[in-house]
Structure 1
Amino acid sequence: MIVALVATIGGLLFGYDTGVINGALRPMATELGLTPLTEGVVTSSLLFGAAVGAFLGGRMSDAIGRRRTILALAITFLCGTVICVLAPAFGVMVVGRVVLGIAVGGASTVVPVYLAELAPFETRGSLAGRNEVMIAVGALAAFAVNAVIGNVWGHIDGIWRFMLAVCAIPAIALFFGMLRMPESPRWLVEKGRRSEALEVLCTVRSRERAVAELAQVESAASTDSRREVASLRAVLGNKWLRRILIVGIGVAVFQQLTGINTIVYYGQVVLIEAGFDESAALIANVVPGLIGVIGSIVSLYLMDRVNRRTMFITGYLLITLWHLLIGIASLVLPVGSGARPYVILVLVVLFVGSMQTFLNVATWVILSEIFPLHMRGLSIGIAVFCMWIANALLGLLFPTVVEGIGLTGSFFMLAAFNLVAAVFMLKLLPETRGRTLESIEEDVSTGEIYAVPEPRR
């Protein structure tokens, strides 16, 4: 599906911009004179910007449409890249990273919703999940580009600027690609543009099915308008809408508390702590990135075949196990042991593989489908805002935590977070596989979704 390919370039930018700091930070710190504190600020400034972008992106996409919002985000990606590449000092770099963060956060909110609203219900999981595959591809690309540039041209002053500059290429591709893409038919219906919505649906469905689906969307939109629920106050005042918002926030925040982005941002640092030298760590860093892409592809296959709840609960239990084993390995294998770096690398790879296979794709799919249309932009914006705040705090504090309690304590702490997450999913997460967005919306709004039996495999 060409629409999915083009829109998910936003996911690739998301992955590259968040992952590129992994290898660029050390040479950047040397040239710009960064301290450990300012390194944390440079890393986390993108994440705090992403929190703002996530919230604004959801509201903006409700106001001007999913397509126009993605176009605006492409321009923002390009502007942020230029500022970072040309940054002469710490302050300008932080500004550029915040601009990039706004684009990353907006893309993380809008692209999954855009794909979910265009996809047929029976393949919605795999189509909406392609965005997460592209995020993983973007992170892998960042690790690979960093490894090549760092090992071949690492002696050149300002080499980190070349690592960052690569991001301009997909930003330009996203802008020109989206110029030819259709608007979300569900957003068009919400705005009363029925004929345009039918025209879009007919380009991706048979006409008979497009007409039937349009009738469903119109019925749901009509019900939404009678509810007159659009503000945060109205959502919080409704028992069932408040509950699904809490579920969405929990899904988003717990995804960050897996610690996956500690590997994305500080993977080289973790591997050096494990015992690799700097150059070897930069190369070894590519392995988790590659496994992440493979895991995401496997997850696409599973999304329309395995229940969402099964994916989440299995994923969090596996990650709890890998975190415990990483902590134990760093405790029992002494620094300087020949086995220590490789054992920890294998366990990190298993963690990343489990994360990408069971959780990362599933998280973005569930966030794109659990919220009713009339609160979708607002609610996914709030959930992803909370996700990015958790991400930013973890990115800011992780170096300090590792310094304070070591690799062992850090991963034991993450294991505890993930055990709590598994219990949360078991108790609160509803099942959505194999259902139309409109049927999910109806049952969310009445609370029936928590009583409906899970679809059979």
Structure 2
Amino acid sequence: MPGGSPEKRVRLIVFIATMGAIGFGYDTGVISGALPFLTLPQSEGGLALTPLLEGIVTSSLVFGAALGAVVGGRLADGIGRRRSLLLLAAIFVIGSVGTALAPTVTVMVIFRIVLGLAVGGASTVVPIFIGEVAPPDKRDRLVSQNELMIVTGQLLAYTFNAIIAAVSDSHGTWRIMLMICAIPPVLLFAGMLFAPESPRWLAANGQQKRAWRVLRLLRPRPQAAKEVKAITASIEIVKDEPKASWRDLRVRWIRRVVLIGVGLGAVLQLSGVNSVMYFAPTILRESGLGTQASLVATIGNGVIAVIAVLIGIKSLTRLPRRRMLTIGLSGIVSAHLLLGLAFLLPTSFARSMLILALMMVFLFFIQSMVAVVYWLMMSELFPLRIRGFAAGIAICMQWVFNGAVALLFPSLLDAIGGTTFFIFAAVNVLSLIFVLTVVPETYGRSLEQIEQDLQRTE
């Protein structure tokens, strides 16, 4: 690690790790601009995608990510957070190049699944790694940079999509869009070569001296000593227990925590966030805009998402997690109801602009109040001994919910139009009830305190 203060070293490590989040964001956002060109006939450079094939191509990455989340969690527990990220970066590059060069729909789907393995793995490992290297009083802000980088990656994808579509007149427009996906994982791999391992993983695997050395790099000496004591005490409690496995779910409080994590994934994805992030140009074309105008307008969604996450990161230091989720879901329900009503208006440019504005309102609430809390809680909820395993299960299910939305949304929008948003509104009312009755509060507690609190609730 380079010199500088412990705080600067932590920030540098977080920046390096979040290259995985930028790759995650770019890979999930780029497909929205590629789809209009992929639907063209093969004679015009496309792959002749139907609405069903659009859903399959889009969701193939997402279902690959579901598997990647579980595998990534197991890898993180087994070989460490750092080495897992190095391996995932290599898979990212293979998947990115494969999708860009795909000659057929079948090959495209295969490499989208490979890319999904890396995206899902990164979605599990990156927040865990950041949560474990961050000081307790800065954990919420630093972990939430993961979400900021995800939406930044999506904004970059929307921007490059619009520029490439405007300047390229070749049949390979979508291939250029997809090839750019390889850049963030190359940066992630290069940076992680110089980053240290998580001190908590080292301590949990009997490497206390290395853990102490890493903490000395990342904390002032008094704080490092205090954290070592807390981590050691937490490990002592479970040192004779076996490694994480499915048997752990027989323990009532662990099973409850994992199910809460799964439920939070449903809250995030069944909000409909990725119906907008993946299919914004498709929605806007349905409203009456042309392809190029839809791609340019989608940049606005990306800008709003980045601004919203910045506001959300600020809010995390001031507002309890449950309150943020409640405010966010209330706004989401309202936005979906208004979107459904907007689609009932006569087709016009004004209607298209109203739908775009309402999508931005929806994105503001989901990104500022729900998404930032979700990714932070994935690094907070689970006990150290099974953190990677449990987070992998929860984030896997988040990707399954994501995939279901990605698979069904194009066909739903094609069949029932704006009525789709009324369905989302009803689902989000159920999510609000779940948050109010089940989700625990983690605001203002260290990881070790959260673990103790959750055990005591049983």
Which TM-score tier does this pair reach, normalised by the shorter chain? over 0.9
- 1:116 aligns to what? 131
AA at the equivalent of 1:120 = P
Q: Say if 2:163 is the partner of 1:148.
A: yes
Say if 2:257 is the partner of 1:257. Answer: no
Aligned AA (1:290): V
Structure 1 position 341 matched with structure 2 position 352: yes
User: Is 2:96–2:178's contact at 8 Å kept on the other side of the alignment?
Assistant: yes
Q: Is it true that 1:21 corresponds to 2:26 in the alignment?
A: no
1:277 deviates by: 1.6
RMSD: 1.1
| Matched residue SS, 1:258 | coil
TM-score, structure 1 as length reference: 0.95
Mapped contact 1:122–1:304 kept (Cα < 8 A)? no
Question: Equivalent residues in 2 for 1:282-293 (5 A)?
Answer: 282-293=295-306
Which residue of structure 2 lines up, in the alignment, with residue 183 of structure 1? 197
- Give matches, 1:358-377, under 5 Å: 358-377=369-388
* Counterpart for residue 105 of structure 2: 90
Deviation at 1:171, TM superposition (A): 1.3
1:239: which partner in 2? 252
4+ runs deviating over 6 angstroms: none
Unmatched tracts of structure 1, length 5 or more: 449-457
Q: Is the 8 A contact 1:372 1:445 kept in 2?
A: no
Task: Determine helix, strand or coil for the equivalent of 1:430.
Answer: coil
Aligned residue runs from structure 1 range 317-356, under 5 A: 317-331=330-344, 333-335=345-347, 337-356=348-367
1:127-142 matches, within 5 Å, as 127-142=142-157
Aligned-partner Cα distance in 2 for 1:406–1:82: 35
Quote the offset at 1:6 in angstroms.
0.4
Structure-1 separation of matches of 2:37 and 2:195: 39
Distance 1:36 1:322 in 2: 25
Larger mean Cα displacement after TM superposition, 29-38 or 107-116: 29-38
State whether residues 288 and 353 of structure 1, in contact with CA within 8 Å, keep that contact through their aligned partners in structure 2. no
Cα offset for 1:275?
2.2
Give the one of 383, 402, 405 matched to 2:394.
383
Which deviates the most, 133-142 or 219-228?
Answer: 219-228
Deviation at 1:234, TM superposition (A): 2.4
In the other structure, the counterpart of 1:455 is: none
Is 2:54–2:410's contact at 8 Å kept on the other side of the alignment?
no
Is the CA contact 1:83–1:96 (under 8 Å) kept in the aligned structure 2? Answer: yes
Within-5 A mapping of 1:367-446: 367-407=378-418, 409-446=419-456
2:206 aligned with 1:196: no
Q: Is the 8 A contact 1:372 1:444 kept in 2?
A: no
Equivalent position amino acid for 2:25 in 1: G
Partner residue of 2:3?
A: none
Q: Deviations over 1:227-265 (max 9, x none)?
A: 547222222x22211111111100012100011101111
Work out the CA distance in 1 between the residues paired with 2:220 and 2:89.
31
Give the one of 188, 192, 196 matched to 1:174.
Answer: 188
User: Which of residues 218, 221, 231 is equivalent to 2:232?
Assistant: 218
Q: For structure 1, which segment, 62-71 or 367-376, has the greater mean C-alpha deviation from structure 2 after superposition?
A: 367-376
Contact kept? 2:63, 2:113, Cα under 8 Å: yes
Matched residue type, 1:225? K
Contact map agreement 2:248 2:255 (CA 8 A) in 1: no
8 Å CA contact retained: 2:331, 2:365: yes
Give the C-alpha shift of residue 445 in structure 1. 2.1
Deviation string for 1:326-379 (max 9, x for gaps)? 111212x112x3421111111100101111110111100011101111121111
- Matches of 1:403 and 1:289 in 2, distance apart? 24
Q: Distance in 2 between matches of 1:272 and 1:48?
A: 26
Q: What secondary structure, in the 3-state scheme, does the structure 2 residue paired with 1:166 have?
A: helix
Within 5 Å, which residues of 2 pair with 1:53-64? 53-64=68-79
TM-superposed CA distance for 1:225, in Å, is 2.3
SS of residue in 2 equivalent to 1:396: helix
User: 2:326 and 2:158 mapped to 1: Cα distance?
Assistant: 29
Residues 36 and 291 in structure 2, CA contact (< 8 A), matched pair in contact too: no
Query: Does the CA contact (< 8 Å) of 2:52 and 2:410 recur in 1?
Result: no
CA distance in 2, matches of 1:385, 1:354: 24
- C-alpha displacement at 1:434, in angstroms? 1.1
Partner AA of 1:143 in structure 2? Y
Alpha-carbon distance between aligned partners in 2 of 1:229 and 1:223, rounded to the nearest angstrom: 14
Residues 63-78 of structure 1 aligned to structure 2 (within 5 Å): 63-78=78-93
For 1:205, the aligned partner's letter is R
AA of the residue aligned to 2:56: V
CA distance in 1, matches of 2:349, 2:185: 43
Indicate if the aligned counterparts of 1:147 and 1:282 stay in contact, CA closer than 8 A.
yes
Tell me the distance in 2 between the aligned counterparts of 1:392 and 1:338: 31
Give, in whole Å, the separation in 2 of the partners of 1:269 and 1:56.
32
Q: Distance in 2 between matches of 1:447 and 1:200?
A: 33
In structure 2, what is the equivalent of residue 163 of structure 1? 177
TM-aligned CA deviation for residue 115 of structure 1: 0.3
Instruction: Look up the equivalent residue of 1:107 and give its one-letter code.
Output: A
| Contact 1:45 1:392 (8 Å CA) reproduced | yes
Q: Secondary structure at the match of 1:88?
A: coil
Unaligned runs of 5+ in 2: 1-10, 41-45
Maintained 8 Å contact 1:57/1:110: yes
Which secondary structure state, in structure 2, belongs to the residue aligned with residue 285 of structure 1? helix
The reply to whether residue 300 of structure 1 matches residue 300 of structure 2 is: no
Alpha-carbon distance in 1 for matches of 2:449, 2:47: 54
Residue 298 of structure 2 aligns with an amino acid whose one-letter code is N
More displaced stretch, 54-63 vs 21-30? 21-30
Give, in angstroms, the shift of residue 58 of structure 1: 0.2
Corresponding pairs, count: 443
Counterpart of 1:432 in 2: which secondary structure?
A: coil
| Structure-2-length-normalised TM-score | 0.95
